[in-house]
Amino acid sequence: MPSSNPTRAELAKEASLQGSLMKLGAVHKTWKERWFVLKGSKLYYYKTSAADKHISEISIDQAVIRTSKELYPQHFCFEIVTAPRVYQLIAKKDTEMWVWVRELQKMSQITRENEIIGTTEDMIRHLQSQLSMVEHQILDAENANQTTTAEEETQ
């Protein structure tokens, strides 16, 4: 079982994704290349791919993962929005960025909940549409009945 401060080698064995990304620093606001390892709902980052101890970790389970409104698509930048901080990361290629975004979104409980809500809302809209069609059919049938009854009475 890995320690509370797992080494890069320990994490790499079970990582779902790992690679190099540029990260914007929180204090000095400079871009630095870092090595990232995603294992479960934790994203660990290291100074280099050879570093053994991670600098920090980002909990993904309650994070929102999105493309950067200010930097994408000029840069292949995405954001990990957590309660304490917004992390900005840049990939080397657009396809690489989307691999990271999709994999991180899989680990986000918020993303999964939003997908469930979206699916449920789609189902509700579909059922409302069907109900409206049935209501119209009932009204049409009632109107046809009234017309037939009125014609019979006039005869």
pLDDT digits (tens, 9 = 90+) for 7-23: 777 776 778 899 999 99
Residue 155's pLDDT is: 66
Which helix (H) or strand (E) element contains residue 58?
A: strand 56-59
Q: What is the DSSP letter of 74?
A: T
pLDDT, tens digit (0-9, with 9 covering 90-100), for 98-142? 999 999 998 888 766 766 665 676 677 778 878 888 888 888 888
83 Cβ contact list (under 8 Å, min separation 6):
62
- Please state, as a whole number, how many other Cβ atoms lie within 10 Å of the Cβ of residue 71: 15
The answer to whether the pTM exceeds 0.75 is no
Residues 49 and 58: their CA atoms lie apart, in Å, by: 17
What is the overall mean pLDDT for the chain?
84
Q: How far is CA 154 from CA 98, 142, 150, 151, in A?
A: 72, 18, 6, 5
Mean pLDDT of 73-102: 93
pLDDT above 50 for 36: yes
Please, what's the b/e burial string for 85-97 (b: 16 or more CB within 10 A of its CB; e: otherwise)?
eebbbbbeeeeeb
How far does CA 44 lie from the centroid of its chain?
19
Distance CA 148, CA 155 (A): 11
- What is the amino acid identity at position 137? Q
> What pLDDT, on the 0 to 100 scale, is given for residue 3?
44
Task: Tell me the residue type at 23.
Answer: K
Which range is least confidently modeled, 26-30, 71-75, 87-91, 97-101? Answer: 71-75
Residues 93, 29 contacting (CB under 8 angstroms): no
Q: Which two tokens stand for residue 107?
A: 């680990």
